[in-house]
């Protein structure tokens, strides 16, 4: 436990110093009722700097709303520097379900990503109005392992305090912070789907399995695997490759490189 308390203090100090160095007065965090946003918002609150937690339901399941509300109440009871904003984006989202306006081909994936991008826009509106920055809630597996986030959605942030932490690290810190038990026990979900599917439903593997695959892949230890381990490794590598565009800088045409490779064309 002491190890995680020390790490928590380091992250809190890192957040505080970053804000002070860049003349930032407010942290803005979207809360979903999940473990990652609960830990991130609590770390921000512990800096004692102004922290705005934003609840952004879009036709959300009651169970998810209840967890996010309970976490917010817990934050408000312990830290006076925490404020809340609730922005119901359901009506705005409904505009994007009209195929006569948007066009045909609105798949469930398109709509899920639309949810995430609307929330990103809302968070930046709050941050811009409060001399704040948007704080990311992605962990290491999501952000750097399999790219399990929406480009320009929950991937659009200013600072990422838990992006170097595996999911097991996040749970350990949640335990040390005293995050409410129901959030720690709830199956991880991004809350972007009408059917309430969990992250495991989408991915086909648990975060602990993916954590194993990410570590093994980095070490190069991929021999003598069980059938399930082979399946998990295949899932990890496929997602890593498919979503590599999210985890890399966007392609930018380089005029200098183009002209260097075509010297004859530009020779005087």
pTM of the predicted structure, to 2 decimals: 0.91
Between CA 199 and CA 14 the distance in angstroms is 29
**pLDDT value at residue 106:** 83
268 pLDDT band, cuts 50/70/90, is very low
Nearest alpha carbon to residue 32 among 5, 6, 71: 71
Instruction: Give start and end residues of each alpha helix (H) in 96-163.
Output: 99-102, 108-128, 140
Q: How confident is the model at residue 257 (pLDDT cuts 50, 70, 90)?
A: confident
Give 96's DSSP letter.
T
**Between 99 and 59, whose confidence is greater?**
59
pLDDT in tens, 111-136: 999 999 999 999 999 999 999 999 99
Position 2 scores a pLDDT of: 67
Q: Greater confidence, 100 or 112?
A: 112
Q: Can you give the pLDDT at residue 4?
A: 79
26-48 pLDDT per residue, tens: 999 999 999 999 999 999 999 99
Query: Token pair for residue 196?
Result: 């309430």
pLDDT of residue 258: 66
CA max distance for the chain:
72
| Parallel, antiparallel or unpaired: strands 26-30 and 50-55 | parallel
Q: Angle at the Cα of 89 (from 195 to 36), degrees rounded to 5?
A: 65
Query: How many Å from the N-terminal Cα to the C-terminal Cα in the chain?
Result: 69
| Partners of residue 83 on adjacent β-strands | 52
pLDDT score at 260: 63
Whether the CB-CB separation of 68 and 146 falls below 8 Å is answered with no
Q: In terms of DSSP bridges, do strands 132-134 and 82-86 run parallel, antiparallel, or are they unpaired? A: unpaired
Tell which residue, 156, 188, 185, has the closest CA to residue 36: 188
30, β-bridge pairs: 54
Ranges 94-98, 107-111, 140-144, most confident: 140-144
Does residue 98 surpass a pLDDT of 90?
no
* pLDDT value at residue 68: 92
| Token pair listed for 73 | 């109440």
Tens-place pLDDT, residues 56-94: 999 988 877 899 999 999 999 999 999 999 999 999 999
Q: Please tell me the predicted confidence (pLDDT) of residue 196.
A: 82
Three-class SS of residue 139?
coil
Q: Is the pLDDT of residue 1 over 70?
A: no
Average of per-residue pLDDT across 91-98: 89
Tell me the C-alpha distance between 151 and 116, whole Å: 9
User: What is residue 266's predicted lDDT score, i.e. its pLDDT?
Assistant: 44
Q: Using one digit for the tens of pLDDT, what is the confidence trace for 143-198?
A: 999 999 999 999 999 999 999 999 999 999 999 999 999 999 999 988 888 888 99
**pLDDT the model gives residue 256:** 82
Nearest to 163 by CA among 75, 39, 18, 52: 39
Q: Which domains does the chain have, with CATH numbers?
A: 2-202 (3.40.50.620)
Is 118 in contact with 141 (CB distance < 8 Å)? no
71, 178 Cβ separation under 8 angstroms: no
Residue 205 has pLDDT above 70, yes or no: yes
């Amino acid at each position: 436990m002491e190890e995680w308390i020390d790490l928590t203090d380091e992250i809190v100090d890192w957040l505080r110093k970053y804000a002070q160095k860049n003349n930032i007065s407010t942290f803005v965090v979207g809360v979903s009722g999940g473990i990652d946003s609960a830990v991130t918002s609590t770390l921000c609150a512990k800096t004692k700097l102004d922290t705005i937690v934003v609840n952004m339901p879009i036709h959300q399941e009651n169970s998810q709303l209840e967890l996010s509300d309970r976490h917010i109440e817990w934050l408000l009871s312990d830290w006076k520097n925490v404020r809340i904003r609730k922005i119901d984006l359901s009506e705005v989202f409904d505009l994007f379900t009209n195929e006569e306006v948007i066009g045909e081909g609105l798949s469930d994936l398109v709509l899920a990503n639309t949810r995430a991008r609307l929330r990103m826009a809302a968070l930046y509106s709050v941050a811009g109005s409060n001399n704040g920055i948007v704080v990311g809630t992605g962990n290491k597996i999501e952000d750097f392992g399999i790219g399990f986030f929406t480009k320009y959605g929950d991937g659009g942030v200013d600072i990422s305090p838990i992006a170097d932490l595996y999911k097991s690290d996040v749970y350990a810190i949640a335990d040390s912070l005293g995050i409410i038990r129901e959030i720690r026990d709830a199956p991880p979900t991004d809350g972007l789907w009408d059917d309430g599917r969990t992250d495991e439903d989408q991915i086909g593997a648990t975060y602990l399995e993916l954590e194993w695959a990410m570590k093994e892949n980095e070490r190069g230890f991929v021999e003598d695997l069980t059938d399930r381990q082979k399946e998990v490794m295949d899932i990890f590598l496929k997602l890593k490759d498919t979503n590599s565009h999210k985890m890399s800088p966007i392609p930018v045409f380089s005029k200098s490189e183009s002209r260097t490779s075509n010297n004859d064309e530009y020779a005087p």
